[in-house]
């Protein structure tokens, strides 16, 4: 198979770095041919690389594993970028024409370029989600061909700390892995894979409950309206469980096996239900899940607050979709309905 016959991508999350390679079929679907992953905790914290050397070593390992499975070399990879500093900032760019004219693609491109060049202190614009264009007193999603004298482009810029992008690029350079095209914003790429077009059009929130962070995205009329990353995730729950005097590895296992965001003890139980850790100690399920439920409630309350800040909390006709490792916690969605 020639190098150009397949597509390779790498995503760095809080807990792992994942690589995948596949071949595009005639119907547009991707046939997965290779997959590899590495633990990211030694060099990533809350989605940001802090140790470039270790990140480069992990990237090299991922590429070697993918190439071994493909029995071929990888020239370039698509890369997803995320992290705690990721957020959206609104911006508007206006133009006044000498006389009423038909809006051209060239004018729209100039407005978009000016928006991209907006000065930001220690931040980089990673991507832009155009919202609407106000031409005279009417809003348009597609402005080209509309007649008017005044035009204002309204944009939602996805920004992050400049160091986030810089450290990511340095890691790939050190690993001698070439990045294909621009960096992809991982949360929006995830949304396109998880949400249907109907959900995005009618109004939907995607909540990616990760290890160190929880990302909230809001879509309406097929347009991204809001994005925010909370510095809370499944690892916070695990860390809280260690208050029962155990290692994080044991706490994680108890969380996965017995965790319940809305645990209710059976009233007619003769003895309280218990769970057993790997070292043989027993804990009441109520005690374990009180710890889990308290932190889950805090995270979900913050998610609901972000939806309220977006201004779309009452316009999400397709509801809220949970994904990510933390979404596997039992009764998570029911717990969210209680806080919202």
Q: How many CB atoms lie within 10 A of CB 22?
A: 17
DSSP 328: G
Judge whether residue 4 has pLDDT over 70. no
DSSP 279: T
Pairing of strands 178-179, 184-185: unpaired
**Topology (CATH) of 3-84+163-191:** Nucleotidyltransferase; domain 5 (3.30.420)
Pairing of strands 76-81, 178-179: parallel
Judge whether residue 71 has pLDDT over 50. yes
> Given its phi and psi angles, is residue 197 left (phi above 0), alpha (psi -120 to 50 degrees) or beta?
alpha
Given this model, what pLDDT does residue 116 score? 94
Using pLDDT thresholds of 50, 70 and 90, give the confidence band for residue 16. Answer: confident
Among 176-185, 231-240, 324-333, which is the least confidently predicted range?
176-185
Higher local confidence (pLDDT), 83 or 68? 68
Calculate mean pLDDT across residues 89-101. 95
Given this model, what pLDDT does residue 5 score? 67
Using pLDDT thresholds of 50, 70 and 90, give the confidence band for residue 45. Answer: confident
- Identical fold for domains 3-84+163-191 and 87-161, yes or no, is no
Report H helices in the chain.
Answer: 52-70, 105-116, 162-174, 186-194, 197-202, 234-241, 248-258, 285-310, 332-339
Please name which of 218, 176, 215 lies closest in space to residue 201, comparing C-alpha atoms.
218
Judge whether residue 270 has pLDDT over 90. no
CATH 3.30.1490.110 fits 87-161, yes or no: yes
Bridge partners, 102 (sequence order):
147
Coil/strand/helix, residue 72: coil
Given this model, what pLDDT does residue 239 score? 97
DSSP 128: E
For 80, 147, 272, the CA distances from 267, given in Å and listed in that order, are 48, 70, 9
Using pLDDT thresholds of 50, 70 and 90, give the confidence band for residue 220. Answer: very high
State the burial class of residue 174 (Cβ atoms within 10 Å of its Cβ: 0-12, 13-18, 19+): middle
Using pLDDT thresholds of 50, 70 and 90, give the confidence band for residue 201. Answer: very high
Bridge partners, 135 (sequence order):
138, 151
Among 12-26, 59-73, 91-105, 143-157, which is the least confidently predicted range?
12-26
DSSP 27: T
Average pLDDT, the chain: 93
Residue 67, C-beta contacts closer than 8 angstroms, at least 6 positions apart: 73, 74
Given this model, what pLDDT does residue 3 score? 45
Distance CA 58, CA 54 (A): 6
Whether the CB-CB separation of 159 and 124 falls below 8 Å is answered with yes
Query: Rounded to 5, what percent of the chain is helix, strand, coil?
Result: 35, 35, 30
Distance CA 74, CA 60 (A): 11
Helix (H) or strand (E) holding 332: helix 332-339
Bridge partners, 217 (sequence order):
206, 227
Superfamily of the domain at 230-339: ATPase, nucleotide binding domain (3.30.420.40)
Dihedral of the CA atoms 135, 141, 147, 153 (nearest 10)? Answer: 40
Given this model, what pLDDT does residue 2 score? 42
Given this model, what pLDDT does residue 159 score? 95
Calculate mean pLDDT across residues 75-88. 90
Predicted TM-score (pTM) above 0.85: yes
Residue spans per domain, the chain? 3-84+163-191, 87-161, 230-339
DSSP 216: E
């Amino acid at each position: 198979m020639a190098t150009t016959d397949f597509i390779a991508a790498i995503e760095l999350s809080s807990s792992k770095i994942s690589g995948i390679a596949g071949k595009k079929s005639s119907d547009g679907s991707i046939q997965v041919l290779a997959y590899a992953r590495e633990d990211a905790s030694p060099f990533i914290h809350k989605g940001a690389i802090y140790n470039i050397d270790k990140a480069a070593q992990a990237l090299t390992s991922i590429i070697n594993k993918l190439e071994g499975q493909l029995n071929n070399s990888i020239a370039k990879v698509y890369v997803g970028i995320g992290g705690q500093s990721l957020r959206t900032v609104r911006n508007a760019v206006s133009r006044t024409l000498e006389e009423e004219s038909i809006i051209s693609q060239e004018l729209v491109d100039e407005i978009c370029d000016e928006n991209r060049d907006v000065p930001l202190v220690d931040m980089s614009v990673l991507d832009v989600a155009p919202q609407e264009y106000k031409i005279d007193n009417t809003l348009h999603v597609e402005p080209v061909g509309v007649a008017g004298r005044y035009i204002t482009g309204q944009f939602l810029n996805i920004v992050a700390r400049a160091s986030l992008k810089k450290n990511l690029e340095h890691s790939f350079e050190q690993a001698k892995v070439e990045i294909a095209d621009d960096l992809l914003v991982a949360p929006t790429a995830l949304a396109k894979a998880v949400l249907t077009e109907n959900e995005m059009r009618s109004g939907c929130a995607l909540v990616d409950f990760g290890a160190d962070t929880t990302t909230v995205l809001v879509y309406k009329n097929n347009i991204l309206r809001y994005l925010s990353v909370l510095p809370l995730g499944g690892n916070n729950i695990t860390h809280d469980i260690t208050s029962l005097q155990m290692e994080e590895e044991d706490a994680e296992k108890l969380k996965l096996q017995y965790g319940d965001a809305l645990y209710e003890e059976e009233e007619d139980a003769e003895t309280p239900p218990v769970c057993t850790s790997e070292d043989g100690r027993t804990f009441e399920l109520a005690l374990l899940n009180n710890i889990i439920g308290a932190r889950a409630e805090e995270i979900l309350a913050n998610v609901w607050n972000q939806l309220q800040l977006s201004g779309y909390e009452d316009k999400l006709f397709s509801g809220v979709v949970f994904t990510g490792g933390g979404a596997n916690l039992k009764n998570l969605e029911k717990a969210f309905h209680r806080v919202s």
